[in-house]
Amino acid sequence: DIVMTQGALPNPVPSGESASITCQSSKSLLHSNGKTYLNWYLQRPGQSPQLLIYWMSTRASGVSDRFSGSGSGTDFTLKISSVEAEDVGVYYCQQFLEYPLTFGSGTKLEIK
Amino acid sequence: EVQLVESGGGLVQPGRSLKLSCAASGFTFSNYYMAWVRQAPKKGLEWVATISTSGSRTYYPDSVKGRFTISRDNAKSSLYLQMNSLKSEDTATYYCARERFNYDYWGQGVMVTVSS
């Protein structure tokens, strides 16, 4: 199984500052079609998760351009520029390269 | 508007069975793979099952393989999860999700508690 490892944030993050969340996979998520099968989700308190980024760097519909995804085949970063109160929650990375699909353990973002 | 509405959760004793349902609307259900994802209390997300568009292919992690069965009824735009031989570690909120290389829509979740 592909293991997804997420880093922690130095919480709380001051409002207006940027925050970067890291995720590492135990196997390259780069497919032969050139796409990297890495997704990012945000789960706000008391809510269902929502898709933020797919294919490592493509923003989902309606997602603010303050969110950006980058990385290589095994090391990934979700950057949130100018964090706001609505960004509070737990962020998860997920690999969609192969079954069993696996998530990272989550990274909590708190705002100061 | 895409909507996924789960139902069927509740309290069940260890070893018993429960069947979850998910009613989909706002999109052509038969065109999409569908999935169940769960979240134990205060824990992270865990993929539970996926079913292909026609239902001919299903996928499970080892943690539920042989105990859980995902199915669908495209005529009713409905997704199901039959859970047998339930264990305390199956206690979680179960989400129905639309799958296409990601989960772009999620239901609100339904709670399943396995306890005597």
Nearest to B99 by CA among B107, B91, B108: B107
Sheet of B78-83, strand order: B3-7, B18-25, B78-83, B68-73
**Interface contact flag, B106 A102, Cβ < 8 Å:** no
pLDDT tens by residue, A4-39: 999 999 889 999 999 999 999 999 999 999 999 999
Tell me which residue of A96, A69, A108, A38 sits closest to B44, measured CA to CA.
A108
Tens digit of each residue's pLDDT (9 = 90 or more) over B67-92: 999 999 999 999 999 999 999 999 99
Cβ contact A55–B101 (<8 Å): yes
**Position A92 confidence tier, pLDDT thresholds 50, 70, 90:** very high
The partner residue sitting opposite B44, judged by closest CB among A54, A61, A105, is A105
Q: Which residues contact A26 (CB under 8 A, 6 or more apart)?
A: A2, A3, A4, A5, A74
> Going by DSSP bridges, is the β-strand pair B110-114/B10-12 parallel, antiparallel, or unpaired?
parallel
Check residue A11 and give its pLDDT: 84
